Structure 1
Amino acid sequence: MIFPELIVNSVTWVSSWSSDLQFPVLATASESEYAPVVLTGVLLSLVVIYLASKLGGELSRMMDFPPVLGELVGGVVVGASALHLLVFPESGAIATDSVIMNILQFIGNLSPEAVTSVFQSQSEAISILAELGVIVLLFEIGLESDLRELKKVGYQAAIVACVGVAVPFAVGTVGLMFFFHTPAIPAIFAGAALTATSIGITSKVLSELGHLKSREGQIIVGAAVIDDVLGIIVLAVVASLAKTGEVDILNVIYLIVSATVFLIGSILLGKFFNKTFVTIADKLQTRGKLIIPAFIFAFFMAFIGNAIHLEAILGAFAAGLVLDETDKRKELDQQVIPIADILVPIFFVTVGARVDLGVLNPIVPENQQGLIIAIFLVVVAIIGKVVTGWSVFGQPGINRLAIGVGMIPRGEVGLVFLGIGAASGAIDKPLQAAIIIMVILTTFLAPPFLRLAFNKQSGETEELVEPADLIG
């Protein structure tokens, strides 16, 4: 995920910046003297996030769109693109860009140095809460998924994931080099950004549409998980290439082996862990006797995933799959929902808030080249994932379009590639703008397109059924 890496980068940047400008207060202010102000900023940010989430979700539902789309749009409105209520330093914003920081400065009569420190700490806190939100979301999705059904479509999901990585990567990289004469390493980085799939956004939309447990939904979720693992491996390769000009083979082998062992080991663990978990939950007598052990397991699995340089969300998803096999799964599902309702919106609103639609302004000269490249990347990003639906075989009557569309959104995963590529200096400003536009459009187009794809299938089914009903 992007948040921990960007936090580390931004903390390093602020530390060096404060040292250069001789602002010693930045090193200690947020940890002691200004801690209450930081808390005030976090609380006010949460008020903004929840208002944006709820208003956006309700408006989206009124227009018959998935609520998650409204949460993303709500984030855009309160973020860097419009109101500047929720902005982040890793996106290039400074304290004075934040309306909330200006409010805190007015209320607390803070110095510019203090505001900068508070802004940094407040942004880190919101980013961590957003990261927890997506971990809880993937744990919830794992609980709602059916491991037996996932096993049935496992090989299909693997094929979909491989095609969804290979096609956009190859077409994007070669196309940039051939049509736009982009140097090899920046082209490879942009091609790698096209391989991502945001499992958080897709799975949430599937759940809201009631198709998470359908054959299409299980293939999409399984493929997105595998796609995430493949994406991490691709990212490791291109990051090594950008830094040294050569690929660290040992690191790539390590990632492949650790990812395989982790996922297979998690599934096998379920056979031995389920009875133990139920026994522990039954023996506990205090409040939270089921939900607390469940989250201990989920966070521990997320920790392992992060510790072995995979992703925390993969560990959380695996934990949900394991606990879905227990006799307590229905009760656990109900207890997780309120927690998800509190934390998950933070993730979706912050994803939207980090987006700066200013890169779409063609009047700005430096945006023009990026827009031309962006059109190419968006076309490749959509077609490169849609074709994955036709890689499914042995599944008569399956909605191939829905599978392909479900793999389209890049979301926060695409921003990871962008963040690392920009930090390494491998990609220039126009290409950065093009990747941002690609991430924005694929993230926002996928939810309504996915609904249309499933509605199309429903309409076709009704047309087939009605004549038979009339004959009967």
Structure 2
Amino acid sequence: MNLETFTLFNFWSSPLLATTAEAESSSLILAGVLLSLAVIYLASKAGGELCARINLPPVLGELVFGVMVGVSVLHLLMFAEAGEDGSHSLIMNLLQATSPMGSTTFSHVFEAQSEVLSVLAEIGVVVLLFEIGLESDLKELLKVGIQSTVVAVIGVITPFVLGTTGLMLLFGTPAIPAIFAGAALTATSIGITAKVLAEMQRLNTREGQIIVGAAVIDDVLGIIVLAVVAGLARDGQVVVSDVVYLVISAAAFFIGAIWIGRLLNPLFVQLVNHMRTRGQVLLSALFFALILSYISATIHLEAILGAFAAGLVLAETEKREELQRQVAPVADVLMPVFFVIVGARTDISVLNPFVPENREGLIMASFLIVVAIVGKVLTGLGVFGQPGINRLAIGVGMVPRGEVGLVFAAIGAATGALSDALNAAIIVMVILTTFLAPPLLRWAFSLSEESATTDPASLSGNISEPVLVESERLQSELVKPEIQ
């Protein structure tokens, strides 16, 4: 073969080989995602059913079984974002055994599979917040708007101040790492709290509306705090213009989205009524929710804020009940992906006290956990003018940090602001507040139920009703002869 023929052969064969390799890689990525989803759904149902039978929130089972199939125990679900290379993933090893891959292809498949699962998890929480918005009442939410704002502000300031000053005074932590850790304490995972409230059918109670409203505001405040401390850690200074931009854009987006959405509600209903294709209500609503989520994400807010706003707007249309029925199966498919992956990403090895490197972090974590719980429980004291309301439940509902707290820890570690011990302490705090919040929330609501059943006023009411009925019967019998 001469040089010209060899060059021509390479010219034609290389793209063909590349195309074949890409097709094989895509096939393996799909296989890995499908197998991962099978594991996620099995873990979700097993954990959820077990917790439901022992009177615990099913979401807790999804988180616990997520830990079991994740990086801590079985290594079925592993993620490239956490620094893994895929060599410990049982799913990737199974793919390698059935379809041998080179090291480059192996890494590409693992990274792509991780990214797809992460995107599905984010879509899952977007659908969750859209469903929560549909189940919420905008008018009731506006009624508790001031209450929710007060609760959210207290829930940000209290743990931040306690955490930052405590780390500096008790542990001698430098200012910037202490501020970053304090900022991580301000987060609230609206996804976890909202799911528990929905499972307990408490979402539309006064407590539920205040918790959801405060968690949404807390999310916005958390983004602002994160932007401030990240800039402080990176540059040693805070850019005031960035903070002002976030505040104005958050307020303008949320108010504007709801105002414009309410104006367009009649058009939405009219458009849907004229459609004749299958799924017209669901797909039109999801289109609206995804557009608002996209706008929210592009202005550096959380996409879930847009989804929640879309749900609130469409909940005021005549299609609300129909839409709730149609969104439920979609949520059932996507929400477990989010909750199981939150658990799967949790590395509980940082809780091992027998590892010397963990001990300093565990001591700091003990302090952060106390501050994390107390700082949020105190938010219930900010509720005023609401006689008989369960302030403890409101405070406990703000406790879980979930994936939001892990974002703070990841950014802190990436900027170099956190030491290994302090980073581990934040992760431990996030793990325990996430897993403790669901049973604590159920316990807090059970206290109000017990007090209602043992209230002397309620007991006297229960006794007097049959007495009144009996007296009325006797009076009617006495009157009968006279009438005759």
Give TM-score, length-normalised by structure 2: 0.91
Aligned with residue 230 of structure 2, among 227, 230, 239: 239
Match runs of 1:272-287 below 5 Å: 272-287=263-278
User: SS of 1:96's equivalent?
Assistant: coil
Q: CA deviation at 1:113?
A: 2.7
Q: How many residues were matched structurally?
A: 446
2:211 maps to what in 1?
A: 220
Q: In the TM superposition, what are the counterparts of 1:444-455 in structure 2 within 5 Å?
A: 444-455=435-446
Structure 2 residue 177 is the aligned partner of structure 1 residue 165? no
Deviations 1:14-70 (A, max 9, x none): xxxxxxxxxxxxx99985441100100000000000000000000010110111111
The answer for the alignment partner of 1:209 in structure 2 is 200
Distance in 2 between residues matched to 1:266 and 1:211, nearest whole Å = 26
**Mapping 1:393-404, distance limit 5 Å:** 393-404=384-395
Alpha-carbon distance in structure 2 between the residues aligned to 1:271 and 1:100: 47
In the alignment, which of 123, 135, 139 is matched to residue 144 of structure 1?
135
Q: How does 1:284-303 map to 2 (within 5 A)?
A: 284-303=275-294
Matched residue, 1:100: 91
Q: Is the 8 A contact 1:270 1:325 kept in 2?
A: no
Tell me the residue number matched to 1:12. Answer: none
Give the AA of the match of 1:287: R
Distance (whole Å) between structure 2 residues aligned to residue 225 and residue 275 of structure 1: 26
Q: Which residue of 2 is the match for residue 369 of structure 1? A: 360
Given residue 235 of structure 1, which amino acid in structure 2 is its aligned partner? L
What residue in structure 2 maps to residue 470 of structure 1? 463
Q: Find the partner of 1:113 among 81, 104, 125.
A: 104
1:86-143 deviations in whole A, cap 9, x for unaligned?
0112223221110100000100012233222111110000000001000000000000
Pick the aligned partner of 1:250 from 241, 257, 265.
241
Q: Percent identical across equivalent pairs?
A: 62
What is the deviation of 1:266?
Answer: 1.7
- Give the stretch that moved more between structures: 260-269 or 347-356: 260-269
- Aligned partner of 1:379 among 370, 380, 402: 370
1:239-291, CA deviations, whole angstroms, 9 ceiling, x for partnerless residues? 10011000011100000000010111122123201101101100110001100
- TM-superposition CA deviations, 1:352-385 (whole Å, max 9, x none): 0000100000111110000000000000000000
From the superposition, tell whether residues 30 and 381 of structure 1 become closer, same or farther in structure 2 (CA, over 3 Å).
Answer: farther
Normalization by structure 1: what TM-score?
0.93
Equivalent residues of 1:197, 1:224 under 8 A apart = yes
- TM-superposed CA distance for 1:347, in Å, is 0.2
Corresponding residue to 2:305 among 314, 328, 334: 314
> Taking structure 1 as reference, are residues 172 and 203 closer, same or farther at Cα in structure 2, changes over 3 Å only?
same
List runs of 5+ in structure 1 lacking aligned partners. Answer: 1-26
SS at match of 2:75: coil
Deviations 1:163-193 (A, max 9, x none): 0000000100010011001111111110000
RMSD of aligned residue pairs (Cα, Å): 1.2
Partner of 2:434: 443
| Structure 2: tracts of 5 or more residues without a match | 1-17, 466-484
Mark the CA change 1:29 to 1:163 in structure 2 (over 3 Å): closer, same or farther: farther
* Counterparts of residues 308-457 of structure 1 (less than 5 Å): 308-457=299-448
Query: 2:63 maps to which residue?
Result: 72
Q: In 1, distance between residues paired with 2:271 and 2:413?
A: 47
* Equivalent residue letter for 2:460: P
Aligned letter for 1:266? Answer: A
SS of residue paired to 2:280? coil
- SS of residue in 1 equivalent to 2:248: helix
* AA in 2 matched with 1:192: A
Distance 1:366 1:30 in 2: 43
Specify whether residues 428 and 32 from structure 1 end up closer, same or farther in structure 2 by C-alpha distance, changes over 3 A only: farther
Equivalent pair of 1:30/1:118 in contact (CA under 8 Å):
no
**Paired residues for 1:180-195 under 5 Å:** 180-195=171-186
Q: Which moved more, 1:31-40 or 1:184-193?
A: 31-40
| Higher Rg | 2
In structure 2, C-alpha distance between the alignment counterparts of 1:454 and 1:254, rounded to whole Å: 39
Task: Name which of 20, 33, 48 aligns with 1:42.
Answer: 33
CA contact (8 A) 1:29 1:114 kept: no
Contact 1:422-1:432 at 8 Å conserved across structures: yes
Letter in 1 for 2:411: I
SS at match of 1:427: coil
Contact 1:29/1:35, CA 8 A, preserved across alignment: no
Task: Provide the residue aligned with 2:47 in structure 1.
Answer: 56
User: Secondary structure of 2:81's match?
Assistant: helix
Query: Secondary structure at the residue paired with 1:114?
Result: helix
**Cα-to-partner distance string for 1:408-465 (whole Å, 9 max, x where unaligned):** 0000111111111111111011111100100000000000000011111001001112
Q: Does 1:82 align with 2:73?
A: yes
Structure 1 segments of 4 or more deviating over 6 A?
Answer: 27-30
In structure 2, what residue type is equivalent to 1:425?
G
Determine if contact 1:409/1:442 at 8 Å carries over to the other structure.
yes
Match of residue 475 from structure 2: none
1:259 aligns with 2:250: yes
Contact 1:202 / 1:447 at 8 angstroms: preserved in 2? Answer: yes
One-letter identity of the residue aligned with 1:42:
V
2:161 maps to a residue whose letter is A
One-letter code aligned to 1:138:
L
